[in-house]
């Protein structure tokens, strides 16, 4: 019987981790659909940024209540994973509480897991209340209807169940140890200490050893199977941030927020135009092999974005802090930086599946622009960087907005009319207003 | 007030075979917008008072390309940038000061890659350095003890992490500095950035400048201090929209210093 359970465990483990690895491979493949961008410079600064923002949660605590609760859940999940390690060893080798030899250290370990489990449970319950009872505005925006809302709640339910199972498992185990059950009891006394689950003991009063073993085993199995399931749910949910927050903060932009990249393709064109020695009628240099396609300016679909922007999209956990800080959104405009990220991810998934099915991308008559993100949203942005500042995991929605505006401006000449007039003014008289450049110093003589 | 202010140009300096200490980049708003011209003049008076040898480009100055870049017209931006850089490099400019955070950000951050490398300062940073060097003295004056709130320009604050220079200047004026609930890193935009200044806003339930003005009014200030000609326009319109023109003034920090000094 024991060996059957060990075999079943190994199968579950291999299947769970294997499937997860497959999804991660797919994730990396999709992210690599983005254009290349070099973010390997300044590794020390990048590590520091990751340590501060992802590991240290420095931006989360800007909103103290959510920040503190999130730290409970975050620390809880990281630390409780040590317990998962023990579960895996026990599962494979048929041992029970293999780390118990640590003695007092083990008591401390299990005690801290239990306290953290309780804090996680409290955190998650408050999160659920904030979403579903208090109905914080940012969780009820338009883009949160349907799947995103359910997804968030499923994750919370899942975490509640996992923590409850962990505590029930410990309580049943504790009771079995008290009753001196085979395989559970230890001559040296009670293994581990149970500061939280001891309060569950009364529930098990009067239950037979065999019933308790069923309860303990069921909780143990459901706990580990739940974790394996959750691991695989990540890819399909908004919850990937627990992994991707780290690479995302590492590869985040280090330059001043106000600095937008200069498009190299444009620089080349401008240089050619400004070069007095350039022959505008010269035939283009002959290129080997395929005919060169002129570079597209800006982005109309996900493949035009760079891989960091696509990584950003997968990292977004839809918390909505960006949107709640956005001046356009606060004044009732359609723009929501969170939606920009959600749309980018949805479209990327669609494009990725398309490529998997057809070996290469087959035109599906859709693109990120218009089919997902409308021009009305794009033109509402004031480029104020509030969204970038607000993001607790270093996402840059503004860069996507700018790349899409570039496409609208340079490939489609599709800017709002007043803006086009200003562009014309800059082009003709060096100012966004229709004043003559020759009058630029007139102010000095006016009183 | 009536005395004409002397504003030398780079061309004049060049003709004399001299180089000024700093180039004052006036910007489009500072050159053409009636309200912003007052800021330009106030700043020039302060430069003169401090004995700073400065020059402007005058008719050789052109838009930095900021509104074009942020609207997505990278082509026009780079054309403007390259042309300006040619002029600036021609005069061997090393140090630039500007009263416009948009010009400041663009020249400081986006010109270097295109061949324009200068030390660029926002006018509040420059004025602060003049105070520190003892070239300009500011003590109290007519704003002493008045309730003032400072509206952070996005392109000075979040974009370039400068929150203190303008506040330090206000402290020198011994004002009662009160902060809005959204300030510094979390400051709310005035609504003009990213090309919005030059177009109608998208459909919504409020204009951004009204929301920001409401936040400013909450602090019950006598003056809303600004550090950007566009913010200045937006906040001035906001104050008008809220019928508070009589009670609340919108002033650039440089204007306040010049005013305090009765320049």
Going from the C-alpha of A418 to that of each of A137, A252, A425, A432, the distances in angstroms are: 33, 34, 11, 10
Residue of B72, B153, B158 best to disrupt the A interface, most CBs of A under 10 A:
B72
pLDDT (0 to 100) of residue A276: 75
Number of continuous H segments (helices) and E segments (strands) in chain B: 11, 8
- Name the residue facing B37 among A266, A421, A443 (closest C-beta): A443
B12 burial class (0-12, 13-18, 19+ CB within 10 angstroms)? middle
Could you count the other beta carbons within 10 Å of the beta carbon of residue B61? 27
Going from the C-alpha of A360 to that of each of A33, A356, B51, the distances in angstroms are: 11, 7, 67
Query: What is the tens place of the pLDDT at every residue in A190-229?
Result: 888 899 999 999 999 889 999 999 999 999 999 999 999 9
Quick check: B1 pLDDT over 50?
no
- Name the residue facing B155 among A258, A422, A433 (closest C-beta): A258
Quick check: A291 pLDDT over 60?
no
Beta carbons within 8 Å of A38's beta carbon, 6+ residues apart: none
Quick check: A70 pLDDT over 70?
yes
Beta carbons within 8 Å of A288's beta carbon, 6+ residues apart: none
Write out chain A residues lying below 8 Å of B69, CB-based.
260
pLDDT (0 to 100) of residue A289: 55
Residue owning tokens 């030059």: B198
The HSE-up count of residue A280 (CA atoms within 13 Å, CB side) is 6
- Name the residue facing A443 among B31, B204, B208 (closest C-beta): B31
Distance CA B156, CA B105 (A): 7
DSSP H/E element including B23: strand B22-25
Contact A141, A323 (CB under 8 A): yes
Write out chain A residues lying below 8 Å of B44, CB-based.
444
Q: Can you spell out the DSSP letters for B220-234? A: --SEEEESSHHHHHH
Quick check: A287 pLDDT over 70?
no
DSSP symbol at B5:
P
The overall average pLDDT reported for chain A is 93
Contact A432 B28 (CB under 8 A): yes
Quick check: B162 pLDDT over 50?
yes
Q: In what order do the strands lie in the sheet with B95-98?
A: B54-55, B22-25, B95-98, B119-122
- In whole angstroms, what separates CA B151 from the centre of its chain? 12
Q: Angle at CA B21, nearest 5°, toward B17 and B23?
A: 95
Write out chain B residues lying below 8 Å of A408, CB-based.
72
pLDDT (0 to 100) of residue A207: 92
Determine the 3-state secondary structure of A78 from DSSP: helix
The HSE-up count of residue A333 (CA atoms within 13 Å, CB side) is 27
Distance CA B27, CA B100 (A): 7
B24 burial class (0-12, 13-18, 19+ CB within 10 angstroms)? buried
User: What phi and psi, each to the nearest 5 degrees, are found at residue B122?
Assistant: -75, 150
pLDDT (0 to 100) of residue B2: 46
Say which range, A39-48, A261-270, A367-376, B236-245, has the weakest mean pLDDT: A261-270
- Name the residue facing A432 among B26, B63, B211 (closest C-beta): B63
Quick check: A282 pLDDT over 70?
no
Contact B74 A262 (CB under 8 A): yes
pTM over 0.90: yes
Looking at the DSSP bridge assignments, the partners of residue B54 are: B22
Going from the C-alpha of B218 to that of each of A7, B72, B181, B182, B213, the distances in angstroms are: 67, 35, 9, 11, 9
Query: What is the tens place of the pLDDT at every residue in A86-113?
Result: 999 999 998 888 998 888 899 999 999 9
Contact B74 A408 (CB under 8 A): no
Residue of B nearest to A387 (CA): B186
From the CA of A262, how many Å to the nearest CA of chain B?
7
Could you count the other beta carbons within 10 Å of the beta carbon of residue A202? 10
DSSP symbol at A145:
T
DSSP symbol at B145:
T
Q: Per-residue confidence at A446, pLDDT binned at 50, 70, 90?
A: confident
Contact B107, B118 (CB under 8 A): yes
Contact B109, A255 (CB under 8 A): yes
Looking at the DSSP bridge assignments, the partners of residue B177 are: B148
Instruction: Say how many CB pairs under 8 Å bridge A and B.
Output: 229
- Dihedral sign for Cα A163, A165, A171, A176, please: negative
Going from the C-alpha of B73 to that of each of A125, A296, A297, B163, B215, the distances in angstroms are: 48, 13, 10, 29, 33
Distance CA A320, CA B31 (A): 40
Distance CA A50, CA B190 (A): 31
Going from the C-alpha of A442 to that of each of A70, A435, B61, the distances in angstroms are: 58, 11, 13
Contact B198 A406 (CB under 8 A): no
Write out chain A residues lying below 8 Å of B1, CB-based.
447
From the CA of B14, how many Å to the nearest CA of chain A?
17
Beta carbons within 8 Å of B70's beta carbon, 6+ residues apart: A260, A383, A402, A405, B193, B194, B195
Residue owning tokens 């490939």: A411
Looking at the DSSP bridge assignments, the partners of residue B224 are: B149, B250
Give percent of chain B above pLDDT 70: 98
Q: Per-residue confidence at B88, pLDDT binned at 50, 70, 90?
A: very high
Going from the C-alpha of A234 to that of each of A149, A240, A317, A392, the distances in angstroms are: 15, 5, 11, 19
Distance CA A371, CA A388 (A): 24
Q: Per-residue confidence at A404, pLDDT binned at 50, 70, 90?
A: very high
Contact B194 A266 (CB under 8 A): no
Quick check: B252 pLDDT over 80?
yes
Residue of B nearest to A259 (CA): B109
């Amino acid at each position: 019987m024991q060996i059957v359970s060990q075999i079943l465990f190994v199968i579950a483990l291999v299947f769970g981790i294997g499937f997860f690895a497959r999804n991660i491979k797919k994730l990396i493949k999709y992210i690599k659909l983005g254009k290349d961008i070099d973010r390997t410079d300044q590794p020390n600064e990048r590590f520091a940024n990751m340590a501060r923002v992802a590991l240290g949660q420095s931006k989360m605590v800007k909103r103290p209540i959510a920040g503190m609760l999130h730290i409970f859940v975050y620390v809880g999940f990281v630390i409780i994973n040590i317990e998962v390690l023990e579960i895996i060893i026990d599962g494979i080798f048929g041992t029970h509480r293999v780390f118990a030899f640590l003695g007092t250290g083990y008591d401390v370990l299990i005690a801290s897991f239990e306290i953290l489990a309780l804090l996680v449970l409290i955190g998650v319950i408050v999160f659920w209340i904030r979403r579903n009872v208090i109905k914080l505005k940012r969780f009820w925006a338009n883009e949160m209807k349907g799947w995103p809302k359910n997804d968030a709640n499923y994750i919370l339910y899942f975490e509640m169940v996992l923590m409850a199972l962990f505590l029930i498992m410990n309580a049943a185990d504790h009771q079995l140890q008290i009753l001196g059950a085979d395989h559970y009891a230890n001559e040296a006394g009670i293994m581990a200490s149970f500061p939280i689950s001891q309060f569950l003991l009364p529930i098990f009063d009067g239950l037979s050893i065999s019933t308790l073993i069923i309860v303990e085993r069921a909780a143990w199995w459901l706990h580990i199977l739940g974790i394996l399931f959750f691991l695989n749910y990540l890819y399909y949910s908004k919850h990937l941030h627990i992994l991707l927050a780290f690479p995302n903060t590492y590869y985040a932009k280090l330059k001043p927020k106000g600095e937008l990249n200069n498009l190299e393709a444009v620089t080349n064109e401008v240089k050619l135009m400004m070069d007095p020695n350039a022959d505008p009628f010269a035939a283009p240099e002959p290129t080997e092999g395929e005919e060169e396609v002129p570079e597209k300016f800006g982005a109309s679909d996900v493949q035009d974005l760079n891989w960091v922007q696509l990584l950003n999209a997968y990292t977004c956990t839809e918390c909505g802090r960006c949107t709640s800080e956005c001046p356009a959104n606060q004044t009732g405009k359609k723009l929501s930086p969170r939606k920009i990220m959600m749309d980018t991810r949805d479209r990327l998934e669609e494009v990725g599946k398309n490529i998997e099915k057809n070996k290469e991308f087959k035109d599906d008559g859709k693109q990120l622009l218009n089919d997902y993100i409308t021009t009305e949203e794009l033109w509402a942005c004031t480029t104020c960087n509030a969204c970038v500042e607000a993001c607790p995991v270093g996402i840059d929605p503004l860069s996507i907005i700018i790349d899409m505006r570039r496409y609208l401006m340079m490939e489609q000449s599709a800017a709002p009319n007043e803006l086009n007039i200003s562009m014309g003014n800059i082009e003709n008289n060096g100012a966004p207003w229709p004043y003559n450049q020759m009058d630029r110093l007139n102010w000095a003589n006016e009183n | 007030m009536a005395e004409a202010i002397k504003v030398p140009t780079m061309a004049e300096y060049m003709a004399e075979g001299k180089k000024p200490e700093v180039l004052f980049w006036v910007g489009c708003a500072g050159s053409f917008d009636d309200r912003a011209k007052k800021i330009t003049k106030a700043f020039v008076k302060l430069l003169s008072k401090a004995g700073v040898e400065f020059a402007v480009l005058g008719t050789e100055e052109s838009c930095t390309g900021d509104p074009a870049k942020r609207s997505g017209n990278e082509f026009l931006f780079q054309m403007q940038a390259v042309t300006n850089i040619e002029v600036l490099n021609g005069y061997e400019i090393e140090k630039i000061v500007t009263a416009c955070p948009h010009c400041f950000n663009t020249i400081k951050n986006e010109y270097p890659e295109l061949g324009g490398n200068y030390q660029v300062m926002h006018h509040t940073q420059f004025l602060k350095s003049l105070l520190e060097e003892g070239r300009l003295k500011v003590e109290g004056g007519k704003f002493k003890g008045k309730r003032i709130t400072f509206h952070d320009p996005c392109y000075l604050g979040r974009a370039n992490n400068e929150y203190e220079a303008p506040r330090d200047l206000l402290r020198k004026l011994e004002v009662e500095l009160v902060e809005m609930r959204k300030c510094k890193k979390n400051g709310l935009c005035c609504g003009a950035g990213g090309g919005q200044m030059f177009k109608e806003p998208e459909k919504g339930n409020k204009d951004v400048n009204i929301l920001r003005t409401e936040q400013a009014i909450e602090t019950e200030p006598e003056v809303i201090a600004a550090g950007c000609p566009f913010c200045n326009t937006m906040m001035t319109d906001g104050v008008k929209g809220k019928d508070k023109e009589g009670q609340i003034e919108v002033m650039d920090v440089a204007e306040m210093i010049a005013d305090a000094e009765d320049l």
